Every structure is written in C-alpha cells, then in structure tokens.
Structure 1
Amino acid sequence: MPPSKYERELRFIDSEVARLNRALQAKIASMPASPVEAAEKADEVLGLQDKIAALIARKREIEDSFIKAGMQLPDTERSMNATVHNAGAFEVHSREEAEALAAAMVGTAPAAPTSEDSILAEIKSVNEELRSVEDRIVQADIEGDEDEKQKLEMMASSLRSRRDTLVQDAKAARTAAPEPEPVPAAEADPETEKRIAALEEETRALRAQVGDVRTGMQDVKDQLRQIMSALGIQEDD
C-alpha cells in the first residue's frame, strides 16, 4: 500500500482520538450522583478508553511497518505524537493500561473550532477525507478484502458523525450573539473595580477547585468500580 494511505489513516486516528478524548471529558464531567446511573456511565467511560487504546495500537502497527521497511515516519503534525512518545511505547496489554494511557491523554487534544470560518474549513477537510475513504471502500470491495472494507466503513461512519457535529457547531456559531465589548478601564468606577476584583478571586478559587476535582478522578474511578462490584456488574459485561 502506498505511504499516502498510511498517512491519511494516521491523520484520521489523531482526529478520532481527539474527538473521543472530548467525549471522554464530557462524560467524566457529567457523572451522575445515582449509583446505578454512575455505574452505567462508568461502563461508557471504559468503552471510550478501549476505543482510544485500539486506535493507539493501530497507530503503532502503522509506524512499525514504516520502520521495518526502512522508511522515515510521516510527519503529520500530530499533537498526540509527542505526548505518547514521551510516555513510552504505544503497546497496550490490559484494560488498566488503556485507562491509564487514555487518562494521560485527556486535555491534550486540540480544542474544537469555535469561529464559523474555522468550522467550515474543518467540514471541508472532513469531506475530502470522507471522499478518499469512500474511494478506498470501493477498491477494497472490488478486491474482496472484507477486513479492509470493514475497517474503512468504520472510519467513514466516524467521519460522518464528526461532520454532523461540525454542522451543528456551525449553526450555533452563526446564531450566537456577539459578546459585549468590555468597559474601558477609565470608565469603571471604584464599585465596579471591587466587583471585578471579587469575580477574579472567585475565578481563581473555582480553578483551584477544578484542579482538585481532576486530581481526585482516580478516587472517583475506584469508587465507581466498588459500586459496580456491589451491584454485581462486571467491567467486561
């Protein structure tokens, strides 16, 4: 297979990992208080982490093929590359390693585009990638390569889902009201300055609380596992 095919797949893997990381963060942030609902949510979190681990394993497989062929690894400017290489190899041998690796990657994904122009540009990029994947699906079908066809169909489904999300983001960006202009410092009276200072102090306190929540996520996961165990729910169910 030509190197360009591998490069396209590597770009897709990075885009998909970034999307899954955002979904993972959203689920962790909205963890319900009910034990039953929390157990269900924990199972969804584990499922996302397994998907991330599978993508990383595929990435290692592609990079190994370049190394064995004596070829230079493609430079796709992947934001995840430095994070994972600094942490070590991509190999994942257990669910615990998958959870640890996925947790280490949370927060490293690039932020979703917010302006309408940037969203439209990304939609165009997704469309181009989707057309390429669909061409490869047809080729795999002609060649009778069912494994390749199934993998490509999964990639196409993820790209369509990503495009639908971007379309909704573009609609939201178009209808969003413009932010009010800040009050010039010269026009702010002493009372306003006091309120601003109080808000800044509250913001710092909230950031500290968020940091405490993040550092305590492992404890939350352990508690969720205990809840699941008490309810007789197995992680692999």
Structure 2
Amino acid sequence: MAYNKVPLPVFQGGSGSASFTAYAPICGGTGTTSAWQSASTGFSTSGYVLTSTGSSSLPTFQASGGWDLLSTQTASSSASLSFNSLIVSSFVSYILFFQAIPATAGDTLNLTISNDNGVTYVTTGYQSGISSTPYDSATISNINTTSTTYLSAATSTTNGCFGVAYLSIPTNGAGFVCTGNTCFYANASSKISTANINAENTSTTMNAFKVSMSSGNISSGTFSLYGVSK
C-alpha cells in the first residue's frame, strides 16, 4: 500500500511496500516494514505448487511430488527403443508401462541397462527371473537369466503382453533393482498368464536403458516412462 507512490509505513496501517510481484500471492511478512510480502520464490516455473517452508519463512513454489511423464514411445518394427538422458537425481524411482507388445512366438520382452547413456549396454551381472502362472493353474513356471532383465516370459503372437515395471536405483547409486507384473499369452499353452518381474544388477550405475525382444523387432505397442519425484 502506498500514498503518492511512497510506501505507507506499517505503523500507519500500510504494508511497507510500494508494489508486489505480479500474480504472486501476498503473505503476512516479518519485521516492521514489510507486513505483507510476495511469495515469489519459484513462482515463475509452470507446474510448481505453493509449499510451506515452516512457520518462520515465506512459502515457496516447488515441484510437486508425484509422477512425471518423461517419454512415450510407440514401436513400429523397431529393433529396440531407448530411454536416454532421463535418469536424473530429482527422481527416486521410475515406472515403465508397456501395452500391446506382440512377439514372434517364443520371444521374451527384455530390458537392458546402460551406464554411458545408451552408447553401449550392459549384458552381464544381472539376476533376473520371471515366475508365471496360467489363468487356470496353480503351477508356477520360472525362467531366469544373467544377461538382461526379463519383462515377460515366452510370449505368443496373440495379443502380446501388457505390464508395469518399477525401476529403482539403490541409495549408493550403483546399478538398479526392478520389480513388476506382466500379463501375457504364453507361447507354450496360448493361455493368458500373469507373471512377477524380479531383477537387479548392482555391478554398474544405470543412466539409460533400452527395451527389445529376445530376437526380431518390436512390431508394435507402446511404452511410457514416468519419473517419481521425491
């Protein structure tokens, strides 16, 4: 509040300020000369939310926790799909959704990590297994490998596979851990089956990854990667 462009002092009922940041919220301030203050830190960044910083300072605009869509890729006779330059410290984990991924009969859908942002890919040091069950049986089948991460068991050409994989980087920054679930048509029985995804590779740091079939191309289907904020 001002009179003739001169801030009206607090003791006279003014704010002590001649102007405030346009569009920023006004908060109760501190001291005798700034009873009102603009909460403007981080204000100009689209998508940020107003966040309390405690009872002794102004709130600030910060990134909200939650999921951020980082990349969506659609396969079209693709040898592989790469997710590079997306693994950053502002995310604590990542979620990969995949849907309608058909396969040449007997192929598996694989995820392979990189430690040089996709220049080369790591093919050793994995402990990866898929435990699957047909819809009409309690019998559990397992396949495992040390050269990649299985996202599905042997899949038929009928409808392919759908699923979600959760990727986390250990607190020491080495390697990654993967868990998740997938639904697919088993190649051997042509029955709808569900499977648990379990994998880790703690021998190297992950900063990128690719998805591919065990042989041939990914003919179609969609992959969406989300980052989970702190």
Q: What is the TM-score with the length of structure 2 in the denominator? A: 0.20
Q: Which has the higher contact order (CA 8 A, sep 6+)?
A: 2
Which one has a larger percent helix, Structure 1 or Structure 2?
1
Q: What is the TM-score with the length of structure 1 in the denominator? A: 0.20
